Amino acid sequence: MTAQGEQNWIEEQPQAVPVIDCADVLVCGGGAGGVAAAVSAARNGADVLMIERDTTLGGTGPRSFVTEYHQAFFTGGIMKEVIGRLRANGGADPNLEDGHFAVPFDPEILKFVLSEMVEEAGVRVLPQSWVTDAIIEEGAVRGVVIENKAGRQAVLADVVIDATGDADVAARAGAPMQEYNHPQPMVMLFQIGGVDYRHSQDRKGRTEMVKAAKAAGVLQDDVYLDNFSNFGIAPSTREGQMGYIYGVRVLQRDPYDADDLTDAEVRARQGVRAFMPFLRTVPGFEDAYLIKAAPMIGVRDSRRILGDYTLSREDILEGLFHEDDIFKRYHRLPDTLGFVRHPSDGSETSAAFRERLANAKTVTSVFGVPYGCLLPQGIENLLVAGKTVSMSYEAHSRCRQIPDCMAFGQAAGTAAALACRDGVMLRQVDIGELQAVLIAQGQNLADGAIDISKAKVHNMVRD
Amino acid sequence: MSTNILERTSRAVGKEIILSGRRTPIYRSVDVLVCGGGLSGVAAAVSATRGGARTLLVERNVVLGGNGPLSFDLALASVDAGFAAEVLKRLEQSGDAGRDLFGDGLVHDPEALKYVLLDLVQGAGVQLLLSSWAADPIIREGVVRGAMVENKSGRFAIPAAVVIDATGDGELAMRAGAPMRALYEPATIAMNYRIGGVHFARALKGQADWPRRIAEAKGSGALSSDQPDTLALYGVTDAARERGVAYVRGPSCRIDGASTIAHLGEQEARARTLIRGFLPFLRTLPGLEESFLIDVAGAMQIGRLRHVVGGHVLRMDEVASIREQEAMAETVDPCLRPRGLSGLLVTGRAVSAEPAAWQALGAGGSLALGERAGTLAVQDLAALSAT
């Protein structure tokens, strides 16, 4: 987004800003990756400050209503702890067997759980503050510039963890990025009330209804999937007759372009409103009413850094391990070259796409994600955690979900704490010790820690 | 960004660092730049656009409406003129505004408000930039000439003939050096929440007994001593009543303006903990046995922390002038202009008004002041192009 014209810039004079805080480890972003990073760093002895632009923690779960963890049982550590706490607090089904594909959770209870974990760990949180720039000295990140109600300020740290979801800090620091040409569809889930769960779970004919509404021009083709589902129903969600509806999307928008984001948010919200009258024609949803559209549109992919190591398709499908692995992941998806589950043209529900997937061999593997994926090339003192770590386009599509973000975060936080304790650069962290600490703190990193025979392919958590 | 000094981090707090100068790209030039998409900002942007100005509305959130959608501040003014009446009429038409079952005032559905404001903004042709933080004003020879914005794309300059500060706290005015008055009385901040499963007839009947029940629960230890002493439901329109939905005025605390940001995180965590501890008790009350949490507000409801000092500071006895065109020009317009600063208008919560006057302006105040600010911006624009 820049202006066309003769002089398209303004000269800004040097500006003095106050340093309002400093920390061993500064975590930018309080989403899944950021919370895991901050908690892990603090538990391992670091003084941690976490800056969040919103007031609530948890990111995509509570803010974009992605209310399911996928393949999370095999991700140990913080992810497993979060699920345990959700179950203990009525936020997830305590009876759901280990190994299920999806764990639905209540996003409101998740906020309580994360807030509690952060507080217990002694993480300081600065909410409603935006990280707007990186402070760099001789190729090393020394802190960030922030904006909030108190003005433009600086925060300094020995290690900065970029968990912004868009690699904002890395980008401002000038880190090289992966190619990014095909943004996956953004999704706008919305919370409804008045669901009649006795009748809403009969999904027969629903696809036909959506298609008929599209054909009749009632629903716009590019704004809606060919089906919709009631996403991730936790027991408390069902008891309150609430639901989170997945079916509204926006195609071809760049998540780190402010004009695109503005347009996506507006279109998606309008799409939600226009969907409600249709929804009320579907059995079980006759009395449904809109509680609210997600506070933030769901973004599947964004900028990804070019790191010391880039996770590839081969790493995943061939189940490769590396000397510096920081977590291991169970994977079960079709072996299609260039696979993305949600292609940028929105064709995921098309017959052709389904057929392509049906004809592809499904590959089950366990692979390792190396520490090098978190380290942006050519920059010191900066770790990236979340969906923006160094992965190829296809690898990202297979390893980008909330449990992955938590695992990236846990590794980043732990590595940062070790670096601070020993007074060494991030690239000099003792990998053996990092792995030992991660294992001791619950990550499934030891040989044979993931038993794929326990994997259950599907479980009905949506309707 | 590089800087000139960087000490060992732990010694740096309290000192300043110098951010180097830079060439900041221009995003777009406009006639009127409105910073903040709450009620006042939306009113200002729509009114400026309708007056013929190319207007850009910058909002840091992704939805319009400010405190209603964000903090469940649901009060509306019963008005029959101006932009405020337009908003009210649209909400009433869809059944999304009405008398509050728990009180006499008008209240609205916060989700519906977002759509009504978006429709009005788009209908008028206001340019919109969401998820963007209006930061430093651009000042040339003592005159505000636009503002810098920060967003996912980076830092950008937006030159504008007139800037309207509708940030709620006079953020641009403060950065531009306008005189500000901090309010000595600490503001109350509260975390409200929304519940479902309410049986209203029984809840209404039992509400007189709630303070006693709370005291009793505190005495027995069922509620911790830091829980609120009172319970108040609100925001129940006819539609909400049918759905069993109500809002609860949540735990509050007093806070002074200077420390708000630093302690917001703690206060919010504390409020969430209190809400969580309160919910089981709520279900012991008649009519609320089946109640459940729908959501906690996205942000705490923050009162007025400071205001700009304008050419005039609105007094309590002048509040009625907001409804009369002539009196408005004489009394209200100088309140929208920060003293000693041109190119900038300030509307909304931070407007130059005494605390009692702001209170008396009530729920319609933000909309009415915003609308006026938009009109004034158009006038200023005409005056500028005439010279």
Residue A421: domain span: 16-181+301-463
Q: Crossing angle, helix B365-386 and helix B39-50, to 10 degrees?
A: 40
Asked if the Cβ–Cβ distance from B150 to A265 is below 8 Å, we say: no
Q: Is A240 part of the contact surface with chain B (CB cutoff 8 Å)?
A: yes
Cβ of B20 within 8 Å of Cβ of A14? The answer is yes
- CA-CA-CA-CA torsion sign (B310, B314, B315, B317): positive
Give chain A positions within 8 Å (CB) of B268.
55, 115, 127
CB distance B294–A12 less than 8 Å? no
Which pLDDT does position A337 carry in this prediction?
87
Residue A361 has pLDDT above 50, yes or no: yes
| B243 vs A: CB within 8 A | yes
Rounded to a whole number, what is the distance in Å from the CA of B168 to chain A's nearest CA? 10
> Which among A90, A143, A123 has a CA at the least distance from the CA of A409?
A123
* pLDDT for the residue numbered B9: 55
* A3 falls within a domain: no
* Residues A345, A418 share a domain: yes
- In percent, the amount of chain A with pLDDT more than 90 equals 81
Q: Do B6 and A137 touch (CB under 8 A)?
A: yes
What is the number of domains present in chain A? Answer: 2
DSSP calls for A258-302 = HHHHHHHHHHHHHHHHHHHHHHTTSTT-TT-EEEEE-SS-B----
User: What does the angle CA B192 – CA B197 – CA B200 come to, to the nearest 5 degrees?
Assistant: 85
Cα torsion A82, A87, A90, A93: sign: positive
SS3 letters for B83-136? HHHHHHHHHHHCCCEEECCCCCCEEECHHHHHHHHHHHHHHHCCEEECCCEEEE
Q: Are residues A172 and A269 in the same domain?
A: no
**Does the predicted TM-score (pTM) go above 0.90?**
yes
* Distance separating alpha carbons of residues A196 and B236, to the nearest angstrom: 22
Pair (A353, A263) in one structural domain: no
Domain boundary, last residue among A241, A259, A293: A293
A174 in a structural domain: yes
In whole angstroms, what is the distance from residue B233 CA to residue A239 CA? 22
Position A153 in a domain:
yes
Report, as an integer, the average pLDDT of A27-32. 98
Instruction: List, run by run, the mean pLDDT of 10-residue segments along chain B (387 residues).
Output: 46 88 96 98 98 98 94 92 95 96 94 98 98 96 96 97 96 95 75 97 96 97 94 96 96 67 77 93 97 94 88 95 86 96 96 94 91 98 92
What pLDDT score was predicted for residue B184? 61
Q: Please check whether residues A177 and A191 belong to one and the same domain.
A: no
Q: How many CB pairs under 8 A join A and B?
A: 228
Cα distance from B327 to chain A (closest Cα, Å)? 33
Tens of pLDDT, residues A102-159: 899 999 999 999 999 999 999 999 999 999 999 999 999 999 999 998 899 999 999 9
CA distance B26 to B33: 13
If asked whether residues A288 and A353 sit together in one domain, one would say no
Q: Show Cβ contacts of residue A214 under 8 Å, excluding neighbours closer than 6 positions.
A: A220, A221, A224, A226
Looking at the complex, does the CB of residue A257 fall below 8 Å from at least one CB of chain B? yes
A128, A145, A258: residue with CB nearest B153: A258
Report the residue from A125, A142, A262 with minimal CB separation from B265: A125
Residue A443 in domain: yes
Quick check: B10 contacting A, CB < 8 Å?
yes
What per-residue confidence (pLDDT) applies to A348? 87
Q: Nearest CA of chain A to the CA of B329: how many Å?
A: 30
CATH number of A93's domain: 3.50.50.60
Residue B129 backbone phi and psi in degrees, to 5: -135, 105
Give the residue among B244, B286, B236, B243 at the shortest CA–CA distance from B101: B236
A282 and A344 in a common domain = no
In tens, the pLDDT along B185-230 reads 666 788 999 999 999 999 999 999 999 999 999 999 999 999 999 9
Could you tell me what percent of chain A has a pLDDT over 70?
A: 97
Alpha helices in A130-246 (DSSP H): 168-172, 206-215, 235-239
Give the number of other CB atoms < 10 A from CB of residue B139. Answer: 17
* pLDDT band, very low/low/confident/very high, at A271 (cuts 50, 70, 90): very high
Instruction: Provide the token pair at B217.
Output: 């629960």
Half-sphere exposure of A247 (CA within 13 A, CB side): 29
Q: Helix (H, G, I), strand (E, B), or coil: what is residue A321?
A: coil
A37 and A174: one domain?
yes
What's the rounded mean pLDDT across residues A79-93?
Answer: 95
User: Which pLDDT score is estimated for A180?
Assistant: 84
Does A4 reside within a domain? Answer: no
Domain borders along chain B are 30-182+307-386, 187-302
Of A10, A115, A134, the CB nearest to B157: A10
Residue A152 domain-assigned (yes or no): yes
- In this structure, what CATH number is given to the domain that contains residue A206? 3.30.70
Nearest to A423 by CA among A35, A22, A45, A5: A45
Give pLDDT tens digits for B123-174: 999 999 999 999 999 999 999 999 999 999 999 999 999 999 999 999 999 9
Do A63 and A133 share a domain, yes or no? yes
Classify domain B30-182+307-386 at the CATH superfamily level: FAD/NAD(P)-binding domain (3.50.50.60)
Q: Are residues A167 and A225 in the same domain?
A: no
* Dihedral, A416, A422, A423, A428 alpha carbons, nearest 10: -70
B56-67 residue pLDDT tens: 999 999 999 999
Tokens representing B295 are: 């959501």
Q: What is the pLDDT of residues A2-18, one digit of tens each?
A: 555 578 999 999 999 99
The helix (H) or strand (E) run that includes residue B167 is none
**Quick check: A129 contacting B, CB < 8 Å?**
yes
In a domain, A8, yes or no: no
Put simply, whether A151 touches B (Cβ < 8 Å) is: yes
Would you give the DSSP letter of residue B350? G
Cβ contact, residue pair B152, A9, below 8 Å: no
Interface of A with B in 172-211 (CB under 8 A): 172, 191, 193-194
Question: Of B17, B25, B273, which has the smallest distance from its Cβ to A154's Cβ?
Answer: B17
- Give the single-character DSSP code of A340: -
Q: What is each CA distance from A63 to A66, A298, B33, B295, in whole angstroms?
A: 8, 8, 28, 12
- Mean pLDDT on A83-110: 91
Interface of B with A in 60-89 (CB under 8 A): 60, 62-63, 69
Judged by a CB distance cut-off of 8 A, whether residue A269 touches chain B is yes
Domain's final residue, options A274, A293, A312:
A293
pLDDT tens digits, residue range A432-446?
Answer: 999 999 999 999 999
Q: Does B29 touch chain A (CB under 8 A)?
A: yes
Same domain, A254 and A384: no
Same domain, A33 and A158: yes
Residue A213 burial by CB count (10 A; 0-12/13-18/19+): exposed, middle or buried?
A: middle
A380 and A406 within one domain: yes
Chain B, residues 172-191, CB within 8 A of chain A, namely: 174-175
Whether A58 is covered by a domain: the verdict is yes
Of A275, A293, A311, which marks where a domain is finished?
A: A293
